[in-house]
Amino acid sequence: MMLVEVKLHDIGEGMTEGEVLTYFVKKGDRVKSDQPLVEVQTDKMTAELPSPISGIVRDILIEEGTNVTVGTTLLIIDTEEIHSDSSHRPEKPLPKKRIIAAPHTRRIARELGVDIEQVVGSGPIGRVTDEDIYKFVSKAENPAPPLVEEIEEAPKQMKISPINPVEIPFKGRRKQIAAKMTKSLYTIPHVTHFEEVDVTNLLSLKNELKDDGTNISVAAFFIKAIYLALKDYPIFNSILDEEKEIIQLKQEYNIGVAVDTKEGLIVPVIHHVEQKSLKTIHQEMKEYIQKAQDNKLTREDITGGTFTISNVGPLGGIGATPIINYPESALVAFHKTKKRPAVINDEIVIRSIMNISMSFDHRVADGATAVAFTNRLVSLLENPSKMLLELK
């Protein structure tokens, strides 16, 4: 007998643990190599773990809903029993139907009590979509209108009972985010520096480009300005390795963009910003935000970040003390833009002012360096034509 342990392996950079959401197999099932076995949730994504080999599920060791660390054995597969037992079986079992569906779609099916194998997929190569699940439920229910004679008269007196509180499960991505935020806050000595930026010229330039047929979001300018400021102050594009006692100054500029989704906060990464134009940055960011909302980000989309921005301005708020995206060294949040009176050349004028807050790791940099960095960032945002001089 040859037993193979299927363990939780690192499916995302910096991952240390994950939650077992659901198993696609049960004890005694035959499985094929690469067949999905279990769905797990990390702080960054939901992913399926495939079978490393063909065989029979001998045992499932971890229950659904359990948080486990990387390296924990989830289940055991017997690779020899599939051969030794074949002579004793009167007929060959039919293989389990392979369903093509995103983890988010599978979750919707589970929550609605739908056997996803009964759903006909309308997507490419038969992929089951969210809409397919909802249509299946709608057809299955097909409720008939109630008969008039079945309607009972409401009781004259109603017994008042205490209202139970609504309970929201603290699990999945929400729990993983909590774990990562706690680790960041208790590992990194956070310091937050606040500044305000006059973005009047930036908004004017954005509108001019739009009139010429080039639509570039303000956030794309933010990312470009962050990269240029990091070139001058590379200490904030770094990762501290305390065990090796070194600060790694990253040579690539991979800027993460925090995106709020139904499943919680997630940070897709625009890689090698130093090689990309404003137009390319805008397009990639737009695609990543859509993928995040659709829960379709891949491992490559969310790993390798060296610096993170949070553009909360469209949601409102004049300031915050953001938590650094561990193990990075800094994060900048861009807040609401508001028209205010300002004094320019001894005259009061109306300008568009935005607040920013920068949290940084006080182990790798001091306040003076953080102020110098934000001053450079402010200069770029207030004089956006400087960014257009960059060919990339």
Query: Burial of 381 by CB count in 10 Å (0-12 exposed, 13-18 middle, 19+ buried)?
Result: buried
**How many domains would you assign to the chain?**
2
Listed in sequence order, the residues at least 6 apart from 388 whose beta carbon sits closer than 8 Å to its beta carbon are 278
Query: Coil, strand, or helix at residue 214?
Result: coil
Q: What is the predicted pLDDT for the residue at 48? A: 82
Which stretches of the chain are DSSP H helices?
Answer: 81-84, 103-111, 130-141, 172-187, 200-211, 218-232, 278-293, 367-382, 385-388
pLDDT digits (tens, 9 = 90+) for 99-118: 777 766 777 787 788 888 88
Same domain, 243 and 98: no
Q: Say which CATH number the domain at 342 has.
A: 3.30.559.10
Q: What is the chain's Cα-based Rg?
A: 27
Identify the helix (H) or strand (E) that includes residue 248. strand 246-249
Q: What is the predicted pLDDT for the residue at 113? A: 83
Supply the pTM of this predicted model: 0.65
Q: Which domain holds residue 55?
A: 3-141
Q: What is the predicted pLDDT for the residue at 240? A: 94
Report if residue 151 sits inside a domain.
Answer: no
Q: What is the predicted pLDDT for the residue at 94? A: 47
Q: What is the predicted pLDDT for the residue at 92? A: 46
Q: Of 104, 190, 193, 362, which is the active-site residue?
A: 362
Report if residue 150 sits inside a domain.
Answer: no
pLDDT digits (tens, 9 = 90+) for 2-11: 889 999 887 6
Query: Burial of 161 by CB count in 10 Å (0-12 exposed, 13-18 middle, 19+ buried)?
Result: exposed
Q: Is 362 a catalytic residue?
A: yes
Domain-terminating residue out of 106, 141, 176: 141
Query: Coil, strand, or helix at residue 285?
Result: helix
In eight-state DSSP terms, residue 302 is G
State the DSSP string of 343-375: EETTEEEEEEEEEEEEEEETTT--HHHHHHHHH
Report if residue 196 sits inside a domain.
Answer: yes
Q: What is the predicted pLDDT for the residue at 148? A: 45
Given a cut of 50, the residues of the chain with pLDDT beneath it are 86-92, 94-95, 147-152, 154
Q: What is the predicted pLDDT for the residue at 98? A: 62
Report if residue 156 sits inside a domain.
Answer: no
Same domain, 321 and 195: yes
Same domain, 220 and 117: no
